[in-house]
Amino acid sequence: MKVRTENGEKDIRAVWFEDGKVVMIDQRRLPHELVFVSFDRYEDVAESIRNMTTRGAPSIGATAAYGMCLAALSGCDLEEAAKVTKSARPTANDLFYAVDHMLNELSKGIDPIVAADAYAQSMVDKCTSIGEFGGPLIKDGFKVMTHCNAGALATVDVGTALAPIRKAKTDGKKFFVYASETRPRLQGMQLTAWELNQEGIDHAIIPDGSSGHFIREGVDIIIVGADRIAANGDFANKIGTFEKAVLAKEFGVPFYVAAPISTFDFNTPTGKDIVIENRSEEEVTMIGDVRISPVGSPALNPAFDMTPAKYVTGFITEKGILKPEEISKVRE
Ligand code: MRU
């Protein structure tokens, strides 16, 4: 992704491996500061996933792959490292996919750094293909809505939902993006808007509760990412996705889910079987160190919701755009 720094424009990734360490953007500090942190123990890498230093399903997967790489280089028990890494967050399928992939590669004697780098690069290539397939869905003059951050930060580079948006921009189209703020962690406001800004893409941040208002006024397409897609096409994504999908159907707006095949979980039959992560009350009741709710009022904080397949117009994958009933074709 292109970022503007004091020393000019730079091309960086969300996570990579350098000098024996996993280096990543600390996404909790954006958009205020672009700060990089690095770890040389797999336990700390798992913690960086849990505390959302890095986040977004494909970036979580790549980070986990690098964590497994560190475990292998340090001669740690790989089964234990896999267990610790997989326990960092429950919903994103890519986390489990990446750890199993690394266990398999390492069991074949493949060099840990080569295997993890190849995994991260494959994510970037898949996202580039998602952009190629999804870009043509965005026409000149379109109003595009997205939710949370399914951009380069969430996917090592390029993005899933933001890949077609980046491609449409590269192709010279003029369009406008609504980025919903995404309470409580504000990935839409702080990360998607930051990426769109860096790329000079015309956009506005909207409050989560205003989606219905803008969809009725005239959104042409909604594109979101996914954390896990069940075998029947039901999918989990950031809390707030479900109501956008229902509203899209009500107002005849095409609703697309952009995700690599690593996000599909064919062992989970339906969305009801997807484990939804519940995070701390403080993410809802506090902003930074300041409490914004009455003491004594509890808060509920499901990080994701489940959208049934019937609301999905298509899944934009690295293998093409698939209707929900077609996804079994890409089972690996
Ligand atoms: O809790 P997060 O920030 O990891 O959740 C991220 C999302 O829900 C994204 O929309 C999803 O992972 C797709 S990322 C390409």
Q: Is residue 146 within 6 Å of ligand 1 at its C-beta?
A: no
- At residue 6, does pLDDT exceed 90? no
- Give the chain's mean pLDDT: 97
Nearest CA to ligand 1 atom 6: 56
- pLDDT at position 109, please? 98
Query: From ligand 1's centre to the CA of 61, what distance in Å?
Result: 12
Q: Is residue 150 within 6 Å of ligand 1 at its C-beta?
A: yes
pLDDT of 27-49, one tens digit each?
Answer: 999 999 999 999 999 999 999 99
- pLDDT at position 332, please? 78
> Is 227 in the active site?
yes
Query: From ligand 1's centre to the CA of 43, what distance in Å?
Result: 22
pLDDT band at residue 19, thresholds of 50, 70 and 90? very high
- Could you tell me the pTM of the whole model? 0.97
- In the chain, % of residues over pLDDT 90: 96
Q: How far is CA 101 from CA 33, 110, 160, in A?
A: 33, 12, 20
- pLDDT at position 237, please? 98
- At residue 192, does pLDDT exceed 90? yes
pLDDT of 107-159, one tens digit each?
Answer: 999 999 999 999 999 999 999 999 999 999 999 999 999 999 999 999 999 99
pLDDT of 292-323, one tens digit each?
Answer: 999 999 999 999 999 999 999 999 999 999 99
| Ligand 1 pocket test, candidate residues 30, 238, 261, most atoms within 8 A of CB | 238
Over residues 204-219, the mean pLDDT reads 98
Catalytically annotated residue among 157, 208, 227, 265: 227
